[in-house]
Copies of this chain bind each other. A is one copy, B any other.
Amino acid sequence: MSELDLKAQKLVLKAQELDAADELAALRGKFVLDTASDPADLEDLEDLADLSGRAGDGDGAGVYLDGNSLGALPAAVPAHVDDVVRRQWGSLRIRSWDESGWWTAPERIGDRIAPLVGAAAGQIVVGDSTSVNVFKALVAAVRMAGDGRDGRDGRDGRDGRDGRDGRDEILVDATTFPTDGYIAGSAARMTGCSLRPVTPSEVPGALSDRTAAVLLNHVDYRTGRLHDLPGLTAAVHEAGAYAVWDLCHSAGALPVGLDEYGVDLAVGCTYKYLNGGPGSPAYLYVRRDLQPRFDSPLPGWNSHAEPFGMRPEYTPAPGALRGRVGTPDILSMLALEAALEVWDGVTIESVRAKSLALTDFFLECVAAYVPEGRVEFLTPAAHAERGSQVALRCPDAGDVMKRLIENGVVGDFRHPDVLRFGFTPLYVGFGDVERAGRVLGDVLVS
């Protein structure tokens, strides 16, 4: 046996042991995954080309490490969606707004997400896209920070003519997913603020009595770095500003602790680690004590205290549903609700433990199978700084990912030179991880 084969033998055995001890392993059965969960037989190791061919055979077969972009299909979803379409829409029709619970779905599903992000009930509504929710949250935060900081009232505040010294600056994570920066730019422009891009580590030094709100990503979409939500939130509060967190890459993968750390507002998508389906609706968290001051820039009729009163004057509803806007997108929303059933009886702490074990093991496999120096590790080694993905940099990343996918290992490529591998603990096993590392090594040396 070659040195590589010996390493592989060891890692395959370790994967088998880890899978056997995995208390979440049975959850894999709640997803539609067209690949075997067992690690490869040792015999297969003799012929990596054969292994790769087998894994890559057929549509979508192989190891799926792109759940940080689009989560796999939970097995309960298709039948539920069919019922929503045929019976709730097709037969009950308009009656379903009451009888099938359509009208209350945004807050009901929000309450289902709440424990996964450390929030008590009554603080989350589901609906709209992440971008739209970033806009709501950031504008509302600026308004909380300095009453009347919008276009009409804020003018006076900004140039000091009425003696108010305004909080007129929004800090935004410069490394964040671009849409957050674009939307923050619009929120700043429309509230008379300036926008100051900083890195998360620069936030404490950049905070001042001018700071109105700070928009941060909990986990960086590119590097997989986990930021210090408790510490940064405390620093933002210390400066008298409001913290808005984007949880797209952390919710469902690790504990967030929104209530515990006093986060003001938060948003997130549901199609990554929450497996809600392509473009499934996002959510908005508004901390309970801030809800009476949540002044939405998108006061649609769904957020009215009496939506069917059809009143010309806007009176916001109490509570989290003040964050609603228009008619909720029922098909996508109820698909998400069915998808969330996989969480019944699962704690986010157990998911986090497995996530770290998976990424640790992947780093170990990459170190074993990939020649030193061939890739750069972008994801921090420290657990406290790691989300549920591993990002590797290499100059030919685009081509490498193409070949990985051809060989049945699905991650994704981020311009210009990043390979991303997402590990969803609900359905990714250690055998998958070993196989992915081995195929990656094969692709990188060939």
Contacts and interface: CB of A to CB of B under 8 A. Distances in A.
Contact of A326 (B129, B297, B298, B308): B129
Interface in A298-313: 298-302, 304, 308-312
Nearest to A335: B331
Q: Name, among A72, A298, A328, the residue most crowded by chain B CB atoms within 10 Å (CB to CB).
A: A298
A415 interface: yes
Q: Name, among A97, A314, A414, the residue most crowded by chain B CB atoms within 10 Å (CB to CB).
A: A314
A73 B94 contact: no
Q: How large is the interface on A (under 10, 10 to 19, 20 to 34, 35 or more residues)?
A: 35 or more
A140 to B, nearest CB: 12
B329 A329 contact: yes
Contact of A277 (B60, B89, B132): B89
Given A191-B151, A304-B178, A299 B92 contact: no
Contacts of A90: 32, 72-73, 78
Interface string A268-286: 0101000001111110000
Given A59-B92, A183-B298, A300-B131, A330 B178 contact: no
B312 A279 contact: no
A239 to B, nearest CB: 23
Contact of A152 (B189, B297, B299, B304): B189
Given A279-B330, A301-B179, A131 B325 contact: yes
A369 interface: no
A185 interface: yes
Interface in A390-430: 410, 412, 414-415
A174 B129 contact: no
Interface in A69-91: 69-70, 72-73, 77-78, 81-82, 85-86, 88-91
A302 B64 CA distance: 25
Given A90-B32, A150-B151, A414 B310 contact: yes
A93 B410 contact: yes
A132 B415 CA distance: 31
A182 interface: yes
A299 B185 contact: yes
Contacts of A177: 301, 310
Contact of A298 (B131, B174, B271): B131
Given A86-B73, A89-B277, A91-B60, A150 B182 contact: no
A304 B412 CA distance: 20
A85 B81 contact: yes
Contacts of A78: 82, 85-86, 90
Contacts of A197: 312
Contacts of A154: 151
A278 B90 CA distance: 10
B131 A326 contact: yes
A294 to B, nearest CB: 13
A332 interface: yes
Interface in A109-150: 128-132, 135, 139, 150
Give the 4 A-B residue pairs with the shortest CB-CB distance, closest first: A129-B326, A151-B151, A131-B300, A131-B326
Given A85-B335, A131-B300, A151-B191, 11 more contacts: A32-B91, A73-B89, A97-B278, A128-B129, A129-B326, A132-B325, A135-B297, A155-B155, A182-B300, A280-B329, A280-B331
Interface of A: 32, 34, 59-60, 64, 66, 69-70, 72-73, 77-78, 81-82, 85-86, 88-97, 102, 128-132, 135, 139, 150-152, 154-155, 158, 174, 177-179, 181-183, 185-186, 189-192, 197, 222, 269, 271, 277-282, 296-302, 304, 308-312, 314, 325-333, 335, 410, 412, 414-415
